[in-house]
Amino acid sequence: MEIDMINGDLCHELLIEKTKPQLSFDKKSDYAAWKRQLKEKFIELSGLDLIAENACAPQFEIVSKATKDGYQQIRFEFYSEGGERVPCYLLIPDGDKEKYPVAITQQGHSFGFHISIGEFKNEQEKELYGDSDFAVQAVRRGFIALAIENRGMGERMATRVSRESMVNCRFASVTALSLGRTLIAERVWDVMRAIDMLSNFPQCDLDKILITGNSGGGTLSYYAACLDERIKLSVPSCAFSPYKTSILDIIHCNCNYIPSAYRYFEMQDLAALIAPRRLILVNGEKDDIFPVEGVKEGFKTVKSIYEACGVADRCELAVTPLAHKWCEDIVWDNILAAVKEMGWLSKNSRCEK
C-alpha cells in the first residue's frame, strides 16, 4: 500500500502567504518615523546591539607589506570584539595622489579572502574562483581595495569543526543565533570596525567608500550599507531578492537568515536604510537561487522608496545575462559610471576607462 507524501512545508507556506510584514513600506506613512522604526527593529533582530556591547580595543597591527605590480599589498589585523581577530588586506595603488576612494570587496562562500587578492592556493581554487579576485580588480581601476576575511570562512573557520567540513559557516551561524546574534550582523560589525581602522592609512579617502561583493559578499554589501552611513555606494551582486521569493522559498546557507525578519520587513524595505545614498543591485537573469522575476518585483519597492526620498535616480538594477555569477565588466562599469557622476574621479583618474 502506497502512502501519500505529506507536504511538510505546507504550514509554513500558508503562513508566508498570509503574512504581511508589519513595517512594509507604505507611501502614505510618515517616512521619517517609519525609517526610524525599521532601523531599530533591524538592529534588534540582527543582534547588532548585543555585538556592540562586546566591543573591545582594536589592538591594530600591520602584519606584512608586499610590493606588487602597480600597487602595495598590506596585511593588517585588529580585534572587532572580545576574542574576535579580523585579518584584512589593503591594496593601495602606486601613484602620487594623496588620497584614493576606497572599495570594500567581499567574498561570498569561498575558501577565503586570499581569493580577493588573487593568491590561489591550488588549481581547484583558481578554477572555481579565478574571476573573483575582487580586490585586485578594484586596485587596477584606481581604488584602494579593502578585503576582510568573513567570519566562518577561510582563516576564520570555526575551530570546533573540521577545517575540511562544508558546515563551518553554518556552525558559526547557529552558534550566533543561540546567543541572540546573527552571523550576518557579526560580519557587518567587522566591516564597520574595519572602516574605523582605515584612519591608520592617510591614503584612504574616508568620504568616498563603496562596498561590493558577490553572493554572500553581496548580502554583506547590502546590509553593511544599511547600518553604516560612511558607505556611500553599495553594489551587491547576486544577493538582493525579496525574502519571499528566495530565502523563504529556496534553500540557502543559515547565514542569510535573521530571526522573525519576515514578520516585520522584506529585504527591499531595508533599502530605506541606504537611501538617499547610491545603490546598484546586480542580479543574474538565470540565477536559480535569486530568481530574477522576484528581484524585479522587489526593485519596484526600492524605486518607490528612493522616489519618496526625492532621489529616484540614485538606485539602479543591472541584470546580467548569466546565472549566480560575478560579472566583472558589468559590475565595474556600473561602479565607475556611478562614482564619476558622484564626482569622485579627477579628469586624469585611472578609475576612468
pLDDT above 70 for 348: no
User: Which grid coordinates are listed for 333?
Assistant: 562599469
User: Which grid coordinates are listed for 18?
Assistant: 498570509
The whole-number pLDDT of residue 8 equals 87
pLDDT above 80 for 304: yes
Q: How many other C-beta atoms are found inside a 10 Å radius of the C-beta of residue 287?
A: 22
User: Which grid coordinates are listed for 273?
Assistant: 536604510
Domain membership of residue 141 (yes or no) is: yes
Domain membership of residue 74 (yes or no) is: yes
Q: How many domains does the chain have?
A: 1
The whole-number pLDDT of residue 158 equals 83
Average pLDDT (19-40) is 97
Average pLDDT (67-94) is 98
Average pLDDT (291-310) is 98
Which of 68-72, 95-99, 234-238 comes out lowest in average pLDDT?
Answer: 95-99
Mean pLDDT, the chain, integer? 94
The range of the structural domain enclosing residue 126 comes to 21-341
Strand partners, 209: 102, 231
Q: How confident is the model at residue 4 (pLDDT cuts 50, 70, 90)?
A: confident
Report whether 168 contacts 158 (CB < 8 A): yes
Domain membership of residue 15 (yes or no) is: no
Give the CATH number for residue 148. 3.40.50.1820
Domain membership of residue 353 (yes or no) is: no
The whole-number pLDDT of residue 160 equals 79
The whole-number pLDDT of residue 1 equals 62
Percent of the chain with pLDDT over 90: 88
The whole-number pLDDT of residue 101 equals 98
Task: Report the DSSP pairing between strands 71-81 and 278-284.
Answer: unpaired
The whole-number pLDDT of residue 159 equals 80
Instruction: Write out the E strands in the chain.
Output: 61-68, 71-81, 84-93, 100-106, 144-148, 204-214, 231-237, 278-284, 315-320
Q: Distances from the Cα of 34 to the Cαs of 41, 226, 260, 273, in angstroms?
A: 11, 15, 18, 11
Report whether 58 contacts 196 (CB < 8 A): yes
Domain membership of residue 9 (yes or no) is: no
What is the distance between the alpha carbons of residues 245 and 41, in angstroms, rounded to a whole number? 22
Closest CA to 218 of 259, 260, 252: 252
Helix pair angle (216-227, 183-197), 10° resolution: 70
User: Which grid coordinates are listed for 343?
Assistant: 564626482
Element at 200 (helix H, strand E): none
Which of 78-82, 161-165, 322-326 comes out lowest in average pLDDT?
Answer: 161-165
- The arrangement of strands across the sheet holding 84-93 comes to 61-68, 71-81, 84-93, 144-148, 100-106, 204-214, 231-237, 278-284, 315-320
Report whether 104 contacts 191 (CB < 8 A): yes
Domain membership of residue 113 (yes or no) is: yes
The whole-number pLDDT of residue 96 equals 87
Give the CA diameter of the chain.
Answer: 79
Domain membership of residue 38 (yes or no) is: yes
CA dihedral for 126, 256, 42, 320, sign (positive or negative): positive
Question: pLDDT tens-digit profile of 46-63?
Answer: 999 999 999 999 999 999
Task: Report the DSSP pairing between strands 278-284 and 231-237.
Answer: parallel
pLDDT above 60 for 345: yes
Closest CA to 144 of 184, 102, 108: 102
Domain membership of residue 14 (yes or no) is: no
Q: How confident is the model at residue 163 (pLDDT cuts 50, 70, 90)?
A: low
